[in-house]
Chains A and B, each alone.
Chain A
């Protein structure tokens, strides 16, 4: 066993060495002054390192750097929901649209719900209180963020890639989803999952994920953009450099939109030494928001009691 692992190590070292030389050459190429590849948003042709089963290796910790979690569409900077409390901490930075063509193609009658979502985004209903449909942004309530929203929350995610399944695990609320690879298996149920039923396949060097069985409680951002339970999402992940994955999601939902539409942005590899997903169990952080109104006045968690 020792002999074998030493051999593996030697082969590995040689492979890493060759890869570095090759990589350096590619980087020089990419940085050539005036070259097309140096333009923002463009990448020189790139062949990703392979996993043992010969697929592009997407393993790593990744994070989007957009403001799409506030609003997928273009938006100017704005005060937050509670400026009197949170000032600049809670304010919304401006951002450019990640939607192809700029604007989400809502059916006219579907726009009212987006407005209503936004207006009631901090009115947090809870399961059982009779509010139907539920009120309040699911992110605010520490619910699973849904697909594709989980991919552009301001928290990192980790991809663990195996031939049979790709695990995507998000720092936010520990939310995870299993992408079943090459499996014909249909979702056992409709209109159920926050994170959908994800089936993956390789289209050349692109990981294509077909997401169905989403539920109607998901939102797309803090601006109240949403889809319904008939949504079908197709994601495409392509390594375009050692440090970037090109991410695209096409959203089809005839109940809400006039046509399929697409978002895209890069996922950036987190490069800090020893970087890891931290625990972000937000459930305890939202209990007072959600359940404070049902606690006994003067109980151990009332603000009055805590100030004493």
Chain B
């Protein structure tokens, strides 16, 4: 084995290094240009069609952005910013997100050591429509309140186990691989990053390539190399008992939009600390409808509506622009180069060997809220 491969890269990958090389210039470009503007209102643009007549969504896209999921409270009355406000906010966000700055002291430097080489520069930029939240409905740009109800004894037990598991993880006393979340385990993206879908902006790998053939749309996500094959030929869903991590999608065309419904998600009990669908919703009652529409020569609108009457008091819709990019998709290795699993588990056993013990009430145990 070559020396190069002994270098501990937790997540691939020479490819990332290459991407980040491109990224450096990309970031400069973003910061220089600031917020881009929409085509003039009313400007007619007819989205392309494939030779067989379907809307043509194909291309390589990046959906990274710094626009927050929920509208910050101090912008409650500002769904959209002016050019000046957007430029200012983008500058502030870019500063906050910059992991290469050295103005926070040694402790901050250490926490930023997973630095900008690894990050997607697209995460530094607001969406081009200058919105203050990715959520477009409800109109306040906030997630709807969660349903308040009494948990069943089974749910209470599951919640308590999840809580304890999170505390073990946070204090470095992982008992098992099941104390890692689904992203650490290289199964799917963490669900607060969309778990594969919904496609939600994250710190890196916001890349997807869309392929089409008659009867199919395939969305290839770079992260954890996942090809989501969406039949658009009217076939039925798989039977309910077939449960999957990423669901079973079915698409249809509505005008220029591809509309995708996805079902057959694994029930939470199967998936350890973190559930398989957004917001730790109930996979049985969770519904997700996605709409993909080309809106400009270089942009596709990704709108996703999620609902679960057991989890949220109303459905909500998120709009994330996907921007065409001239960057490439590279092979994403995950479990093949997952050093974290060994280091965490072996590290925990080593600490036990030295007499350290898990303390669920340690200050850094900070139980999560189940959001992954």
A residues sitting closer than 8 Å to B (CB atoms) are 4-5, 8, 52-53, 59, 126-129, 132-134, 138, 141-144, 158, 160-162, 165, 167, 169, 174-178, 188-189, 191-195, 215-217, 229, 274, 276-279, 281, 283-284, 287, 290-291, 294-296, 299-302
In the complex, chain A residues whose CB is within 8 Å of the CB of B343: 128
8 further contact pairs, Cβ within 8 A, besides A128-B341, A176-B226: A8-B52, A162-B212, A165-B211, A189-B15, A287-B185, A296-B176, A299-B176, A301-B175
Q: In the complex the two chains form, is B333's CB within 8 Å of A194's CB?
A: yes
Q: In the complex the two chains form, is B244's CB within 8 Å of A283's CB?
A: no
Partner of B336, one of A5, A144, A274: A144
In the complex, chain A residues whose CB is within 8 Å of the CB of B5: 191, 215
B30 within 8 A of A: no
Within 8 A of A (CB), among B220-263: 220, 224-227, 229, 231, 235-236, 238, 242, 244-246, 248
Chain A interface helix/strand/loop/mixed: loop
How far is it, in angstroms, between the C-alpha of A191 and the C-alpha of B2 when the chains are bound?
9
Given contacts A127-B342, A291-B341, contact A300 B175 (CB under 8 A): yes
B31 within 8 A of A: no
Q: In the complex the two chains form, is A279's CB within 8 Å of B244's CB?
A: yes
B213 within 8 A of A: yes
Partner of B1, one of A128, A216, A294: A216
Given contacts A52-B51, A276-B231, contact A167 B220 (CB under 8 A): yes
Partner of B177, one of A129, A174, A301: A301
How far is it, in angstroms, between the C-alpha of A141 and the C-alpha of B341 when the chains are bound?
14
Given contacts A276-B229, A287-B177, A299-B175, contact A5 B53 (CB under 8 A): yes
In the complex, chain A residues whose CB is within 8 Å of the CB of B14: 188-189, 192
Shortest beta-carbon distance from A298 to chain B in Å: 9
How far is it, in angstroms, between the C-alpha of A194 and the C-alpha of B5 when the chains are bound?
13
Contact stretch, chosen from B136-144, B311-319, B345-353: B345-353
In the complex, chain A residues whose CB is within 8 Å of the CB of B69: none
Q: Which of B176, B209, B218, B339 has the most A CB atoms < 10 Å from its CB? A: B176
Within 8 A of A (CB), among B173-228: 175-178, 185-188, 209, 211-214, 216, 218, 220, 224-227
For B, the interface residue count at a CB cutoff of 8 angstroms equals 63
Shortest beta-carbon distance from B293 to chain A in Å: 16
Shortest beta-carbon distance from A132 to chain B in Å: 5
In the complex, chain A residues whose CB is within 8 Å of the CB of B245: 279, 281
Q: Which A-chain residue is minimally distant from B14 (CB atoms)?
A: A189
Shortest beta-carbon distance from B163 to chain A in Å: 14
How far is it, in angstroms, between the C-alpha of A128 and the C-alpha of B345 when the chains are bound?
11
Pairs across A and B, CB under 8 Å, 7 listed? A128-B341, A169-B227, A189-B18, A192-B15, A217-B336, A281-B245, A296-B176
In the complex, chain B residues whose CB is within 8 Å of the CB of A144: 225, 331, 333, 336
B337 within 8 A of A: yes
Shortest beta-carbon distance from B181 to chain A in Å: 13
Q: In the complex the two chains form, is B218's CB within 8 Å of A127's CB?
A: no
In the complex, chain A residues whose CB is within 8 Å of the CB of B177: 287, 291, 295, 301
B268 within 8 A of A: no
Q: In the complex the two chains form, is A161's CB within 8 Å of B213's CB?
A: yes
Given contacts A174-B225, A301-B178, contact A296 B352 (CB under 8 A): yes
In the complex, chain A residues whose CB is within 8 Å of the CB of B336: 127, 138, 143-144, 194, 217
Q: In the complex the two chains form, is B1's CB within 8 Å of A133's CB?
A: yes
B280 within 8 A of A: no
Given contacts A132-B1, A133-B1, contact A160 B175 (CB under 8 A): no
Partner of B58, one of A162, A176, A188: A162
Partner of B338, one of A127, A138, A192, A216: A127
Partner of A178, one of B13, B50, B209: B209
Within 8 A of A (CB), among B43-73: 50-53, 58
Q: Which B-chain residue is minimally distant from A142 (CB atoms)?
A: B335
B8 within 8 A of A: yes
Shortest beta-carbon distance from A72 to chain B in Å: 22
Q: In the complex the two chains form, is B345's CB within 8 Å of A294's CB?
A: yes
B329 within 8 A of A: yes
In the complex, chain B residues whose CB is within 8 Å of the CB of A278: 242, 244
